[in-house]
Amino acid sequence: MNLPQSNLHVVLFEPEIPANTGNIGRLCVGTNSSLHIVLPCRFLFTDKALKRAGLDYWGHLRLQMHKSLDEALQLCPPDRFWLCSTKGERSYLDIDFQAGDHLVFGPESRGLPQSLLESHPTQVITIPQSPKIRSLNLSNAVAIVLYEAIRQIAFGRQN
């Protein structure tokens, strides 16, 4: 089954682990989504782990690099980006995603800056999880939120 075009954007703010970025790149190719990477990265794009995770899909990826998060967010309407954080109170399941939304994720070790979360409190979302862990793996979290957004856009918001 082919996915319809949802025009979704995944934004990785200062990613740290090449295998996660490679997996997310592959996920973006598989979902017809764009990947935005906000520099700096803690790895080189020639990294073997990045290539291994992305395999031969990397050439099909719609990838944009940005010098700052502000630069990346200028590409979307002010109310159509979602800040994904374990510090959020609002579940990603409570969001009405729309085509063109930007899903923003922070670096694996520290997440998005607290100042960013505080400046956009209505746009902070989280994935409910057990308190036994600090967070989900970044590539898993991106997949969860991205596929929920696609489900809503392609098939309507059904709970």
Residue 68 falls inside a structural domain: yes
CATH of the domain at 41: 3.40.1280.10
How many Cβ atoms are within 10 Å of 43's Cβ, its own excluded? 16
Residue 122 falls inside a structural domain: yes
Structure confidence at residue 46 (pLDDT): 67
- 125, 91 Cβ separation under 8 angstroms: yes
Structure confidence at residue 3 (pLDDT): 74
Residue 4 falls inside a structural domain: no
> pTM (2 decimals)?
0.92
Residue 103 falls inside a structural domain: yes
Domain count, the chain: 1
Torsion of CA 13, 16, 18, 20, to 10 degrees: -60
Residue 2 falls inside a structural domain: no
Structure confidence at residue 126 (pLDDT): 98
Residue 77's domain comprises: 9-154
10 closest CA partner among 131, 136, 21, 52: 21
Residue 1 falls inside a structural domain: no
Largest CA distance in the chain: 42
45 closest CA partner among 61, 62, 22, 67: 22
Which portions of the chain are predicted below pLDDT 70?
1, 44, 46-56, 157-159
Residue 114 falls inside a structural domain: yes
Residue 148 falls inside a structural domain: yes
